Amino acid sequence: MVTLADLQVTTLGQPTIPSPLAEYVGGRATNEYYVGEDDRVLFDDTISLVKARGLPLDELPTFEAGGARDRIYFDPATTRAGIVTCGGLCPGLNDVIRAIVFELYEHYGVTDVLGFRNGYAGLVPECGLEPMVLTPESVANIHERGGTVLGSSRGAQEVDVVVDELEARGVNLFFVIGGDGSMRGAHKIAQECLRRGNDIAVVGVPKTIDNDIPHIGQSFGFQTAFSRAAESIKAAKVEAEAALGGVGIVKVMGRHAGFIACYSAIAGHDADFVLIPEVPFDLDGEHGLLAHLHRRVAERGHAVIVVAEGAGQQHCETSGATDPSGNAVLGDIGILLRERIRADFSGRGEPVNVRYFDPGYLIRSVPADPVDSVYCARLAQIAVHAAMSGRTDMVVGRRRHRFVNVPIAYVTHRPHSVSPDGDLWLSVLESTSQPHAMRA
Ligand code: F6P
């Protein structure tokens, strides 16, 4: 069970320097833009959960509020920042890079920012990837493009080598934009920096189109990604409706978490079945997917299946191989469904026309939509406030409309996934009218 201690963010020392942001807020009667140390965001969101803890108020688990502080730790004149983007692409990466650079330059007066190339590999000298110098001019328009101007890569690197490089480059603030694996790496880097006492702040901006990092609200880029996936579902519906025995299949990303499948399916109400890694299903038998699909096509003339890539892996052949991030290489559930559905309908002597869609990388390589762009810019600003105030080994997130600072260890201790007993999955069931369980 979470305790207040689990949510305490590490600081490098007492912030003593008046914040340069005073210029913006100083003229006001109160410094309402600043966040105070007592301004903490409740972990629990219902009275019953709070009551069940039986704790005095000041011992309840709470998050530190994210935001600007009136005192900072780093002297802007002598501070150098570094930014790295790691792992798979995600809409909004360039928005985050841009906003970090602008916040540092324009509001804190930190005019020395390096962009490390291609993930953690860019911090390994023998990879030969010289960092880019980032300025407001060089990043001014990057948010208009998908991807990351810094490039990315998967996989961890030797922590000692990375910290040596940060020290050699004179970096004081290190911003890591990455998924859970990259955040585990950032935690190790932050711990090593603390051990060496080198005064380097490590602050993460969690990135995952799969939305599978816990306690941070929704991850940036997720909304853009599922909106793109919803377009494929709409197309699958149109195709399936027009064909005799039309079955649309849309395979979307989501290795361990089915959030993209769930949200994109609910968005258009065009899906008849949503298959996610968290909810196992059988293919055969009276209550298996094929029998239900057959009944749905008989009733409505067509059907659409949205399947997350990590769903139904027990039905697929897998190689046992792993990718550079250590993730198991998945079997292709989309192709398997296509073949099994064709075989099943022809075995019954019934017509079927399967329309197969795999929007794949299309949903994550696009620029962020305006909602995500706003979110990216604000997360980046909160990350800069945290780093400048000397916070380290933490990520920024959002809880109940408040930005929060969360220890990295707390967001990497377990993955976030769709609860089969939760209200999101219930919404999927209500939207699709698929059976609660498809087990033979
Ligand atoms: O990790 C996020 C993710 O979108 C997964 O859902 C997907 O399996 C993976 O990235 C694919 O990325 P890549 O092909 O770059 O490894």
Catalytic entry in 112, 210, 272, 372: 210
Tell me: pLDDT of 326 over 60: yes
Tell me: pLDDT of 29 over 60: no
Given a contact cutoff of 8 angstroms between Cβ atoms, the answer to whether 182 and 119 are in contact is yes
3-state secondary structure of 425: helix
Tell me: pLDDT of 89 over 60: yes
Q: Name 176's bridge partners.
A: 84, 204
Q: Please state the rounded mean pLDDT for residues 290-302.
A: 97
164 annotated active-site: no
226-364+420-432 is classed CATH 2.102.10.10: no
Q: What is the pLDDT, as a whole number, of residue 325?
A: 78
Given a contact cutoff of 8 angstroms between Cβ atoms, the answer to whether 69 and 19 are in contact is yes
* Locus of tokens 């026309």: 353
CB 408 less than 6 A from any atom of ligand 1: no
At 25, the pLDDT band (50, 70, 90 cuts) reads low
Range of weakest confidence among 122-136, 153-167, 322-336, 345-359? 322-336
Given a contact cutoff of 8 angstroms between Cβ atoms, the answer to whether 76 and 108 are in contact is yes
Q: What is the pLDDT, as a whole number, of residue 26?
A: 61
CB 253 less than 6 A from any atom of ligand 1: yes
Tell me: pLDDT of 310 over 70: yes
At 271, the pLDDT band (50, 70, 90 cuts) reads very high
At 28, the pLDDT band (50, 70, 90 cuts) reads low
Q: What is the pLDDT, as a whole number, of residue 38?
A: 85
Q: Please state the rounded mean pLDDT for residues 143-153.
A: 97
Q: What is the pLDDT, as a whole number, of residue 31?
A: 63
The segment(s) of the chain belonging to CATH 3.40.50.450 are: 4-220+368-399
- Give one DSSP letter per residue of 113-159, joined into a string: EEEESTGGGGG-GGG--PPEE--HHHHTTGGGSSS-TT----S---H
Within 10 angstroms of residue 65's Cβ, the number of other Cβ atoms is 18
Q: What is the pLDDT, as a whole number, of residue 440?
A: 81
pLDDT averaged over the chain?
Answer: 95
Residue 269 to residue 272: CA distance in whole angstroms: 8
Phi, psi of 212 (to 5 degrees): -105, 20
Tell me: pLDDT of 197 over 80: yes
The segment(s) of the chain belonging to CATH 3.40.50.460 are: 226-364+420-432
Total count of residues recorded for the chain: 440
At 74, the pLDDT band (50, 70, 90 cuts) reads very high
Q: Please state the rounded mean pLDDT for residues 12-24.
A: 89
Residue 249 to residue 237: CA distance in whole angstroms: 9
Q: What is the pLDDT, as a whole number, of residue 22?
A: 76
Distance 284 CA to ligand 1 centre (A): 29
CB 207 less than 6 A from any atom of ligand 1: no
At 27, the pLDDT band (50, 70, 90 cuts) reads low
Distance 88 CA to ligand 1 centre (A): 6
Residue closest by Cα to atom 8 of ligand 1 = 255
Tell me: pLDDT of 313 over 80: yes
Q: What is the pLDDT, as a whole number, of residue 318?
A: 84
CB 333 less than 6 A from any atom of ligand 1: no
Handedness of CA 390, 396, 399, 400 (dihedral sign): positive
Q: Please state the rounded mean pLDDT for residues 228-238.
A: 98
Q: Please state the rounded mean pLDDT for residues 184-188.
A: 97
Residue closest by Cα to atom 1 of ligand 1 = 88
Distance 160 CA to ligand 1 centre (A): 27
| Predicted TM-score (pTM) of this structure | 0.96
Q: What is the pLDDT, as a whole number, of residue 17?
A: 96
Tell me: pLDDT of 87 over 80: yes
Q: What is the pLDDT, as a whole number, of residue 228?
A: 98
CB 61 less than 6 A from any atom of ligand 1: no
Residue 240 to residue 313: CA distance in whole angstroms: 25
Q: What is the pLDDT, as a whole number, of residue 37?
A: 83
Given a contact cutoff of 8 angstroms between Cβ atoms, the answer to whether 249 and 236 are in contact is yes
Condensed to tens digits (0 to 9), the pLDDT of residues 369-378 reads 999 999 999 9
CB 254 less than 6 A from any atom of ligand 1: yes
Condensed to tens digits (0 to 9), the pLDDT of residues 348-371 reads 999 999 999 999 999 999 999 999
Domain spanning 4-220+368-399 has what CATH number? Answer: 3.40.50.450
Tell me: pLDDT of 30 over 60: no
Strands 113-116, 81-85: pairing kind:
parallel
Q: Work out the angle at residue 434's Cα, subtended by the Cα atoms of residues 431 and 435, and round it to the nearest 5 degrees.
A: 135
- Give one DSSP letter per residue of 86-102, joined into a string: -SS--TTHHHHHHHHHH
Distance 126 CA to ligand 1 centre (A): 26
Residue closest by Cα to atom 15 of ligand 1 = 88
